[in-house]
Each structure stands twice: as structure tokens, then as C-alpha cells.
């Protein structure tokens, strides 16, 4: 309190003219605990509006519902419990709530970004339906996004495999143009030995399906390495070559197998 008084006296000494009401508000807000507590008694500072930033897929109505605030509350309330309630939403990675005078709470979100659609077998809302698509983030957590209602275009994966989801998250962050082209990623299955009639799984290999070609890669491939197919695919398209697949399994090479 003494520091604030000294600061205000200095402002007066250099000729600044500050309204008494503004000075009083500055002093109260800067007070450790009793200032906001006193201000919360005034209806002028009751919550009138909530502004939400960073919500791409999270529904604002759901965020406001989690906040559990109304117009009888003051913006000078303790915001920590409000932030914790919002942070429990599976769509939210982090949240910070700020005050904007006189009566607005500003919510800034960082969302858990969706990276894939996973087919989930079992009971669904429609009788007779055997499976439904679920939206997941890079950790494999199911997000509260209905793909049938949201405008969302994501690669399809067979399961929430960490190696596949980490790859997709890496590509989305570093190579968004390539991410937008990926229609599916799956662990490779190759035909077995002659006469076996079956397929042998290749657990260390992935099939990355693009609109015009399938890419073979090793598990653990980086986004930068996967992006090596972009100039190769463009060059082959210019030459009107019909490509069966592009192979990234060999170091520093992109092998094109033509049809």
C-alpha cells in the first residue's frame, strides 16, 4: 500500500492529472486481497459477458456451462476454480481467464487438436450399426466432437496406435499441406509366402494413403521424411507417370514403383 501511495504522489509531482476515481480503482486492484473483495460488492463489476478465444471445435456453450458463472457474480471472484472446471473438458489442453472491466471475463483456450478418426466397434446410437467413427487427439483420447456434425476432415486409422497418432500430429504441425492429403494410415499387411494364401503383418511398416498414391514407410518416420514424397509425386504427375506406390523405407531415397 505504501509503495502505491508513493507511486501516485510521484505522478502528481510531475504534473499528471489523474481522476480520483481512477486512482482509487488502481489502488484497490493493486491491493493484495481486500481490494478485489471490496470491488466485488459493487454491481457495476458483475459478469455481463464472456468472450472465448481459441475455441475451434469446443462449443462455447459447453465452455460457459463448465464455468458455472452468472450475472449475480463479480468479475473479481477467484478465477482459479473457474479455470479448473474449464480445464477438465477433454477438448481443452490449457486455459487462462482474464478480467476486462467493467463486466467481462475473457477465456483463452488451447485445444487438444484432433488428429485422426478411429473406427470404434460396438454399440452405437443407431440400431443395427456395427461401428462408429471417433475423433481422437495425439494421445489417443476421444474428443467430444461429432464427426457427422462438425466440418472435420481427418485421416482414418484402424486403432489409437501411439506411433501412428504421433506421426499424424507431427505432420499436422510441420507439414499441414501434406496432412490435408492423408486419407488413412495403417500398419502394413503383406501377402505371405507363395502357397500360404494368407497375409503376413509387417509391424514395423506403415501404409500412408494419399489421394493419388500409397506411401510405404517405416514406423517412426518423421514428418520431414514423409514430406519427401511431395516433390517426387509432383514430378511424376508432370510426366504423366502412373505410380503404384512410393517407398520411403530406404535411407535418403524415394523409390517409385510404376503401374
Q: How confident is the model at residue 149 (pLDDT cuts 50, 70, 90)?
A: confident
Q: Can you give the CATH number for the domain in which 47 is found?
A: 3.10.20.310
Q: Can you give the CATH number for the domain in which 193 is found?
A: 3.40.50
Between 74 and 150, residue with greater pLDDT: 74
With a CB cutoff of 8 Å and minimum separation 6, the contacts of 240 are: none
Mean pLDDT across the stretch 150-174? Answer: 93
Average pLDDT, the chain: 81
Nearest residue to 173 via CA among 228, 136, 222 = 222
Are 158 and 229 found together in one domain? yes
Concatenate the DSSP letters of all residues of 19-84 into one string.
Answer: -HHHHHHHHHHHSSSHHHHHHTT-GGGB--EEEEES-SSS-HHHHHHHHT--TTSBTTS--HHHHH
Backbone angles phi, psi at 221, to 5 degrees: -60, 140
Between 115 and 196, residue with greater pLDDT: 115
Between 100 and 122, residue with greater pLDDT: 100
Instruction: Give the range among 10-24, 40-54, 245-259 with minimum mean pLDDT.
Output: 10-24
The model scores a pTM over 0.75: no
CB 227 within 8 A of CB 172: no
Indicate the residue among 111, 138, 171 that finishes a domain. 111
Are 26 and 124 found together in one domain? no
Are 227 and 168 found together in one domain? yes
Mean pLDDT across the stretch 12-21? Answer: 48
Are 212 and 121 found together in one domain? yes
Are 55 and 151 found together in one domain? no
SS3 183: coil
Q: How confident is the model at residue 31 (pLDDT cuts 50, 70, 90)?
A: low
Are 126 and 238 found together in one domain? yes
Interatomic CA distance for residues 61 and 45, integer angstroms: 22
pLDDT at residue 18 tops 70? no
Domain that holds residue 4: 1-39
Interatomic CA distance for residues 166 and 86, integer angstroms: 26
CB 85 within 8 A of CB 67: yes
pLDDT at residue 193 tops 80? no
* Percent over 90 (pLDDT), the chain: 58
**How many CB atoms neighbour CB 65 within 10 A?**
13
pLDDT at residue 96 tops 70? yes
Between 79 and 39, residue with greater pLDDT: 79
Are 210 and 128 found together in one domain? yes
pLDDT at residue 27 tops 50? no
Per-residue confidence (pLDDT) for residue 120, from 0 to 100: 72
Grid coordinates representing 156? 482414418
pLDDT at residue 6 tops 60? no
Interatomic CA distance for residues 139 and 243, integer angstroms: 34
Concatenate the DSSP letters of all residues of 94-140 into one string.
Answer: EEEEEEETTTEEEEEEEE--EEEEEEEES--SSTT--EEEEEEETT-
Per-residue confidence (pLDDT) for residue 16, from 0 to 100: 45
Q: How many domains does the chain have?
A: 3
Q: What is the dihedral angle through the alpha carbons of 230, 233, 239, 242, rounded to the nearest 10 degrees?
A: -170
Per-residue confidence (pLDDT) for residue 2, from 0 to 100: 52
Sign of the dihedral defined by the CA atoms of residues 234, 238, 239, 240, in that order:
positive
Indicate the residue among 111, 146, 170 that finishes a domain. 111
Instruction: Give the range among 32-41, 81-90, 207-216 with minimum mean pLDDT.
Output: 32-41
Indicate the residue among 77, 111, 145 that finishes a domain. 111
Mean pLDDT across the stretch 92-120? Answer: 94
Are 79 and 13 found together in one domain? no
Mean pLDDT across the stretch 64-88? Answer: 95
**Length of the chain in terms of residues written:** 259
Are 123 and 209 found together in one domain? yes
Amino acid at each position: 500500500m505504501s509503495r502505491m501511495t508513493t507511486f501516485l504522489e510521484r505522478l502528481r509531482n510531475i504534473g499528471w492529472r489523474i481522476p480520483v476515481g481512477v486512482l482509487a480503482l488502481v489502488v484497490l486492484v493493486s491491493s493484495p486481497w481486500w481490494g478485489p473483495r471490496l470491488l466485488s460488492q459493487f454491481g457495476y463489476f458483475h459478469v455481463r459477458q464472456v468472450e472465448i478465444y481459441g475455441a475451434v471445435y469446443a462449443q462455447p456453450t459447453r465452455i460457459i456451462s463448465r464455468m458455472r458463472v452468472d450475472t449475480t457474480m463479480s468479475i473479481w471472484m477467484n478465477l482459479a476454480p473457474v479455470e479448473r472446471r474449464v480445464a477438465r473438458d477433454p477438448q481443452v489442453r490449457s486455459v487462462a481467464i482474464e478480467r476486462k472491466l467493467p463486466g467481462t471475463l475473457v477465456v483463452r483456450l488451447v485445444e487438444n487438436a484432433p488428429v485422426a478418426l478411429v473406427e470404434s466397434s460396438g454399440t452405437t446410437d443407431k440400431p443395427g450399426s456395427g461401428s462408429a467413427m471417433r475423433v481422437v487427439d495425439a494421445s489417443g483420447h476421444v474428443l467430444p466432437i461429432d464427426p457427422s456434425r462438425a466440418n472435420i476432415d481427418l485421416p482414418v486409422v484402424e486403432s489409437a496406435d501411439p506411433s501412428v497418432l504421433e506421426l499424424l500430429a507431427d505432420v499436422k504441425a510441420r507439414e499441414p499441406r501434406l496432412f490435408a492429403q492423408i486419407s488413412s494410415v495403417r500398419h502394413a499387411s503383406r501377402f505371405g509366402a507363395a502357397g500360404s494364401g494368407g497375409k503376413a503383418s509387417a509391424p514395423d511398416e506403415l501404409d500412408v494413403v494419399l489421394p493419388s498414391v500409397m506411401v510405404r514407410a517405416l514406423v517412426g518416420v518423421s514428418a520431414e521424411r514423409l514430406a519427401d514424397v511431395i516433390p517426387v509425386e509432383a514430378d511424376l504427375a508432370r510426366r504423366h507417370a502412373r505410380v503404384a506406390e512410393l517407398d520411403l523405407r530406404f535411407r535418403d531415397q524415394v523409390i517409385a514403383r510404376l503401374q
